[in-house]
């Protein structure tokens, strides 16, 4: 596997020379400064690639080449947006960057309610607290129908939190929920989020699927022609949120996507943390089911609570059997090598991570600390090397 590291370029307090000391050889990157829908120029891509290769890395995966919200909603004439998207693809391919991770989550990317929940032996983690999300939706956003999405127990906890919360507490909650949006793009205030949600009125699961299928039909043939692979990232959390449908949350969703345009270029980013937040998902089993279409893997772990809350666990300590999952990836890589397939090696990266030791002082991109991810990568590397030895030598 290709050990990789997500790097945010000019937005990142972690430098490429520091990343080199982690042992990672691949960089996962995107031009976050480019507005959604605009073309990534060959010149901008080449300049960033030169910076990455000059530091001794390969630009292994683009994460993400973002999809404009108008495409997700199916708004009007989308021909210019699709043309721009395909041009960005061509410009990436011309620079030898051939794997694209993306998501089809409406409006928000990953969502958490607490950016610094305490961890038992020190450090902090990202957490999704069901009652706080309910407090936000019911009492701050005042979304119609939000009460129906939560149990009476959670609604009671939400009301109690809201009544005792200060304005600073509510601001912190809004900041946490907005923090999953990458790069330089706008964060919403409550009124702005209401307005953005209104643009999705009438978009249900079936219509979002139809818009997604159109996206695949527009870009996967181009990916085939360019020798690229696309890999969809699962929803995080893997459930409807803010009244918006989420359609990449379980094995059946993934099966639908991969069959909607059945092509080796239409693949999966296996994110063990996103899928692992749904109690119904057996992550190693999902990986085994779609092993031949996994083009990239985010390896992290979560620990779930009965009410739907969850938090980031240490990479080997959460609810997902990480050893079993990595065994699936090791076995699949061996099969690809034996069959002489392209894209035989699977890029992996330690996803998220606890903030440990001096991490809080650095002010890194939320969820992407240096020491916490270094610990995760070291643990994942050890498991991988051991399983490769077993696989190669019986």
The residues carrying an active-site annotation are 233, 271, 298, 351-352, 368
Q: Residues near 73 by Cβ (< 8 Å), separated by ≥ 6? A: 106, 199, 200, 203, 211
SS3 118: strand
8 A C-beta contact, residue 178 and residue 141:
no
DSSP state of 355: B
| Cα Rg, the chain, nearest whole Å | 20
CA proximity to 326, closest of 390, 263, 231 = 390
Q: Residues near 193 by Cβ (< 8 Å), separated by ≥ 6? A: 141, 242
Sign of the dihedral through C-alpha 53, 54, 55, 56: positive
C-alpha 199, offset from chain centre:
23
**Strand 114-118's sheet: what is its strand order?**
114-118, 124-128, 310-313, 301-304
Q: Residues near 8 by Cβ (< 8 Å), separated by ≥ 6? A: 29, 32, 182, 183, 365, 368
């Amino acid at each position: 596997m290709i050990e990789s590291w997500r790097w945010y370029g000019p937005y990142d307090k972690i430098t490429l020379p520091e990343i080199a000391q982690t042992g990672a050889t691949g960089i996962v990157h995107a031009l976050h400064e480019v507005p959604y829908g605009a073309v990534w120029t060959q010149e901008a891509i080449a300049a960033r690639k030169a910076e990455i290769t000059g530091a001794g890395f390969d630009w292994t995966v683009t994460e993400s080449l973002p999809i404009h919200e108008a495409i997700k909603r199916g708004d009007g004439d989308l021909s210019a947006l699709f043309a721009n998207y395909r041009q960005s693809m061509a410009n990436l391919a011309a620079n030898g960057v051939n794997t694209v991770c993306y998501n089809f989550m409406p409006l928000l990317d990953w969502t958490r309610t607490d950016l610094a929940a305490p961890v038992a032996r020190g450090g902090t983690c990202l957490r999704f607290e069901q009652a706080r999300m309910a407090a936000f939706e019911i009492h701050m956003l005042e979304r119609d129908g939000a009460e129906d999405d939560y149990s009476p127990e959670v609604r009671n906890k939400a009301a109690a939190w809201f009544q005792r919360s200060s304005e600073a507490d509510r601001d912190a909650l809004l900041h946490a929920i907005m923090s999953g949006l990458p790069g330089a793009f706008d964060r919403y205030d409550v009124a702005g989020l209401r307005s953005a949600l209104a643009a999705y009125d009438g978009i249900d699961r079936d219509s979002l699927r139809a818009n997604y299928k159109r996206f695949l039909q527009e870009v996967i043939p181009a990916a085939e022609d360019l020798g690229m692979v696309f890999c969809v990232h699962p929803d995080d959390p893997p459930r409807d949120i803010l009244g918006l449908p989420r359609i990449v949350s379980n094995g059946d969703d993934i099966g639908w996507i991969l069959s909607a345009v059945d092509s080796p270029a239409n693949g999966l980013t296996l994110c063990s943390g996103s899928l692992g937040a749904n109690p119904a998902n057996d992550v190693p089993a999902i990986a085994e089911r779609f092993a031949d279409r996994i083009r990239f893997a985010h390896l992290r772990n979560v620990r779930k609570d009965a009410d739907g809350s969850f938090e980031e666990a240490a990479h080997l300590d959460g609810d997902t059997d990480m050893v079993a999952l990595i065994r699936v990836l090791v076995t699949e890589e061996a099969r690809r090598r034996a069959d002489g397939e392209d894209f035989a090696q699977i890029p992996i990266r330690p996803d998220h991570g606890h903030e440990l030791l001096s991490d809080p002082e650095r002010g890194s991109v939320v969820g992407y600390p240096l020491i916490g991810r270094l610990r995760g990568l070291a643990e994942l590397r050890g498991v991988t090397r051991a399983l490769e030895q077993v696989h190669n030598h019986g």
